[in-house]
Chains A and B, each alone.
Chain A
Amino acid sequence: MTSRSREKRRTAPAGGKTYAFQLFVAGNESNSTQARDNLARLCREYLTGRHEITIVDVLKDAATAYTHHVLVTPTLILIKPLPKVLLLGNLSDTRHVLAALRLIGGKQ
């Protein structure tokens, strides 16, 4: 609880910008499911009402993955605000993910 509130305090003011994500997953594989859940939680906590998530299942739509040069799943791409950010893994390291998405002020 403590760490979560500290992260919230250090959250960079997003200034009403909408965050658009594209999450590449492989069906219901465990890391993909975790990434889905973690992203939904992060958006709920830090970007309430200011996010768009597009889920791409590479098992059904590999072409989109090729287009975006996605190598592995799960992969999260922050489409906007620019610059684009690419994150690999199940997004379980909240601090790292928030820092990469510029939602908190850098890695400790």
Chain B
Amino acid sequence: MSSRKAPFRKPQIKGAAAEELVHALRTHQVDAIVGERHIMLVRLKQAEEDLELSRNQLRALTASLLSIRENERIVIAREIHDELGQALTCLQLGLSWIAGKVTARQQPVQDKVRSLAALVTTMIRTVQRIADELRPGVLDELGLVKALKSEARKFTGYTGTPCKFETNMGKTGCSREESIAIFRIAQAALTNVARHAEASKIMMSLMDGKTHFVLTVHDNGKGITREQISGAQSLGIIGIRERVLALKGSLNIRGSKTTGTTLTVRIPRPRILLSHRPVSS
């Protein structure tokens, strides 16, 4: 006698029963489909659809928040630069005027004025740096490529780790939104490298492909784990992902202990519609 289970017999469904089944499915009166090995909840599909809708709403909200944040940054940067910068410049001119009035016999006053002038100069530089970090003037004035070059240079200056940048892009490649997003992504990627990678060399590139803009940041550091890539604590990567998704792009992060980490962002190029209007002579 065989102890094997009897094979599952497929239920026969014909005529009225088949009609009944079709009607029940059409009118959404079915909760679950009973299969040979498992129960498939029909409502699971609906739940997944709801979840996707909710995700899309969250993404739209994030995109809107990012845009609001950028605009706020512009306003704050302008206020700091114009108001505070102006006031500090006036203060510096005032101190110079006082320094001119002080006689050689008033040495302690002269020293004090000089130290105050030096302090004001430092403050002006700090204000410029803060305003620049909030909204890099170079991005608005000279465009994305120059801004990224400048960012690579700054990174090398701050960290002492050489960061090379290469591109095949001209001056006008991306829209304003794309430029801001790519620039912020590059900034976030470089911050991550500085904080975690322990790299001795960084290569950043921005390539203009036929269909996509491709930003790559590669370092030769200690790599990155899957948990770090998808972890809830990886706020930098979450921010990058949200910016990429807002532009319907894709993000790929690969890391290994031997080759370091490579972050690749692909942003689809906007489609240019050519008009074929007849030209009148």
- Show the binding face of A for B, using Cβ within 8 Å: 24-26, 29-32, 58-59, 62, 65-66, 69-74, 86-90, 92
Contact = CB atoms under 8 A, between A and B. Distances in A.
Contacts of B232: none
Given A32-B31, A89-B29, A26 B11 contact: no
B27 interface: yes
Contacts, number: 72
B30 interface: yes
10 contacts: A26-B41, A31-B28, A31-B30, A32-B32, A58-B34, A58-B39, A74-B31, A86-B17, A89-B23, A89-B29
B11 A73 contact: no
B21 A72 contact: yes
Given A29-B43, A30-B43, A31-B29, A87 B34 contact: no
Contact of B30 (A62, A65, A88): A88
Contacts of B34: 24, 58, 62, 65-66, 70-73
Given A66-B8, A71-B13, A72-B24, A59 B39 contact: yes
Contacts of B39: 26, 58-59, 62
B48 interface: no
B11 A87 contact: no
Nearest to B34: A65
Contact of B31 (A25, A70, A71): A25
